[in-house]
Structure 1
Amino acid sequence: EAFCDKKEGDCGFDKADWGPLQARVETYKGLIFANWDAQAPDLKTYLSDATPYMDVMLDRTEAGTEVITGMQKTVIPCNWKSPAEH
């Protein structure tokens, strides 16, 4: 039977087996990373050789990274797929 009503029995469905996944959350210099793969390496290992490049970008001032609010819009006269693919 494809569907089993709770009133008729439990049908072997355990709600605990279908709860939300817990993400592992780590930070690097104020950036927040979340990962749902329990087998994935820790963030520092994953970033590995990319950390010096991130440091150059994130350590430009003594105060750290500055968030500037607002919006920047660009109009590109092309097919909607072009910006995503190129």
Structure 2
Amino acid sequence: EAFCDKKEGDCGFDKADWGPLQARVETYKGLIFANWDAQAPDLKTYLSDATPYMDVMLDRTEAGTEVITGMQKTVIPCNWKSAAEN
């Protein structure tokens, strides 16, 4: 595990190279999509043949679509490294 404990904060890399990523955000019929991959195709191209199926689902009424969500919680007995190791 890498750790920098120098008082100067010099960890051997240029901090400017490790800034936050900029997500590309696009919408389709009120749905919001975000993508971190700068090389990925635009949303319309990505959805491609799935668009008619989404239209059937999203255009059912003139009132639009309302998504009602809840919370689903699962407790898994494992340590913090489990996601990276499995």
Q: Is the structural similarity TM-score above 0.5?
A: yes
Q: Secondary structure at the match of 1:83?
A: helix
Aligned CA distance change for structure 1 residues 52 and 6 (closer, same or farther; 3 Å):
same
Query: Could you list the per-position Cα deviations for residues 36-73 of structure 1 after superposition, in whole angstroms to 9, with x for gaps in the alignment?
Result: 11111000000011000000000110011123365799
Larger Rg: 1
Aligned CA distance change for structure 1 residues 46 and 64 (closer, same or farther; 3 Å):
same
Aligned CA distance change for structure 1 residues 14 and 44 (closer, same or farther; 3 Å):
same
Aligned CA distance change for structure 1 residues 16 and 66 (closer, same or farther; 3 Å):
same
Aligned CA distance change for structure 1 residues 56 and 85 (closer, same or farther; 3 Å):
farther
Aligned CA distance change for structure 1 residues 81 and 48 (closer, same or farther; 3 Å):
farther
Count of aligned positions:
86
Aligned CA distance change for structure 1 residues 47 and 84 (closer, same or farther; 3 Å):
farther
What are structure 2's unaligned runs of at least 5 residues? none
Moved more, 28-37 or 62-71: 62-71
RMSD of aligned Cα (Å)? 6.9
Task: Give TM-score, length-normalised by structure 1.
Answer: 0.66
Moved more, 32-41 or 65-74: 65-74
What are structure 1's unaligned runs of at least 5 residues? none
Separation of aligned partners in 1, 2:81 and 2:4: 43
Separation of aligned partners in 2, 1:10 and 1:75: 39
Task: Give TM-score, length-normalised by structure 2.
Answer: 0.66
Separation of aligned partners in 1, 2:82 and 2:21: 35
